[in-house]
Structure 1
Amino acid sequence: MSPDAWTSQFGMQRPILGILSISYGSIMEILFIPCLLAMLDKDLWRLSCYKIMFSVGIVDMLALAMNSISTGVLAYEGAVFCTHPVFIYLAGMCGLGLWCCSCLMNIMLLYTNVAHGVNNLMIMCGTFVFYGYICYVLCKANKTGKSSRIHIQSYQILYQSVAICFINQVSSSVYVVMNFVTVPEWLIVVAQLMWQLDHGTRTF
């Protein structure tokens, strides 16, 4: 059948979700530009964590093009796989690769300051361990009476990290569960939105 026939017979248009996804992705792409440019400051660029964050930012921008903008266009159209099989297949491969890359780079970032299911399980379990350890270290530093300025900066970093980690955790958990049981459509939409948020929230 023609692409239009596949869409009309099997597709379901979601114009609101499509417009929201396209708008979110476009706004986040624009916000990423000044964030990445700020990281290129020579004083910051000397620190390895900023080099990793810059790389994560590039990955996030590419991922937003896949999981927000292109997905939003397909949702607005109501496309199914056979509507645009080559594009959807390539976009899906890129999206999966960028998701795995982002997760691994986040773990690298934690250390400095393989299949899809294995990747998600590692992130789902590993984040609890890593952030639990960070909380322990900060609480221990608090008891030893370090300077308040260091405390404030440490806790700000922790709160930011936990917020990003929570979004990553929910998204990973839903995608892991989806491999084993049938989940309702609203939960799939929540997982998709969390995946979009995971790549967009680092601009803040």
Structure 2
Amino acid sequence: MNNIIAYGSVEGIPLYNCSDHSSEEWSELGGKQWPILGACQLAYGIMIDILYFPILSIIFEKENFKISCFKIMWFLGIIDFLITYVNSILTGWLAMEGAVYCTHPNVIYISGMIVCALWCTSCMTALLLVTNRLLGMTKPALAVQLFDGRKTYIAMIFPFLYFIYFLFTAPLIFNSKYMAWFYEPMIYPERSAEYFNHSHTANNFLIVTLTCIVYTPFRWVIGTNLRHVKSDQSSNLQNTKTQVFLQSTLICAANQVCAVIYVVMNLTTVPNWIIMFAHFTWQFIHGAPVFIYLALNKMIREKFLEKMNVMGSKAGRETSSAMTIVKSGNSPTN
């Protein structure tokens, strides 16, 4: 980021200088147009972000936002929303263009810098969320001490500082040939090692390890609690615990797969289908919560449907009123 300020353009940074060719030449040398796949990714991203709006508003409602896990879920949802804009909407447009770094250097560099920081922040926030749930089930008194009320905001400072730190590390760079974001802009292949983002790599492996460590007791606690729940008296409690378990597991399992593949594909040559699979998994990670919340969280699903009905009814009333006005205006006068 400091380099951008100093040079006024990312092309002024030596390792990111595109002066050897024109943007059209760079696209022909290293890019590939994906008109259909790019359009599908763009449409997917728009759909996810549209659906996220009412879900985030539901989580943000006063009665829900009092609960610490909802504060963390809302923060994680904002991150998902922003990442989806880059890894699906912007990526779809770049894929249709057949873009490489040197065709849109400023857009790709700045977007890659932000999305790299957001991804690492989402990893930290997801870990914070599962820690919150685990303590809430096993050590409620400690959970209150750490997360009760505004204390949740203090805990969320750590992911925010994590974001600030990663803004100053090497960005992710999009390449349409592989339909993915890499450390390397593929300008100087002989200097590829100089682009390697060690912090991002450490984050990915650390998060995978810590998530596995935290999830082992979490799953055990869920299973133990469910065995002791009497279905005839506490079916609602059992459903709630099952929903929390499934939501957290589905969201974090994909994180683990994507984190490992993205590091491996930046360390060594892998088949293109694996690279594309990693990118689609990354898109799934930040889009899946929308469907998980709607499918498994009864409260969010019911309020979401209420909002959709209200919006539909309002749109219907506005259309009806507009038609009445038009008919009234076109009626003959005596």
Q: Residue 98 of structure 2: which of 68, 78, 81 is its match?
A: 78
Identity %: 41
- Secondary structure class of the residue paired with 2:51: helix
Count of paired positions:
204
Aligned to 2:251: 164
Structure 1 residue 200 corresponds to structure 2 residue 272:
no
- Secondary structure class of the residue paired with 1:97: helix
Q: Which has the higher contact order (CA 8 A, sep 6+)?
A: 1
Aligned to 1:152: 239
CA RMSD of aligned residues (A): 1.6
Structure 1 residue 14 corresponds to structure 2 residue 30:
no
Gaps of at least 5 residues in structure 2 are 1-20, 134-197, 292-334
Aligned to 1:185: 272
By how many angstroms is 1:145 displaced? 3.9
Runs of 4 or more above 4 Å deviation = none
For residues 56-103 of structure 1, the C-alpha deviation after alignment (integer angstroms, 9 at most, x for no partner) is 111111111111111111111111111111211111111100100111
Aligned to 1:133: 217
TM-score (structure 2 length as normaliser): 0.58
Measure the CA separation in 2 of the matches of 1:124 and 1:14.
32
Greater Cα offset, 32-41 or 118-127: 118-127
By how many angstroms is 1:198 displaced? 0.7
Measure the CA separation in 2 of the matches of 1:100 and 1:14.
28
Greater Cα offset, 10-19 or 142-151: 142-151
- Secondary structure class of the residue paired with 1:186: helix
The residue type equivalent to 1:125 in the other structure is T
Contact 2:69–2:129 (Cα < 8 Å) also in 1: yes
Aligned to 1:116: 200
- Select the structure of larger CA radius of gyration: 2
- Secondary structure class of the residue paired with 1:115: helix
1:47-86 aligned at under 5 Å gives the runs 47-86=67-106
TM-score (structure 1 length as normaliser): 0.93
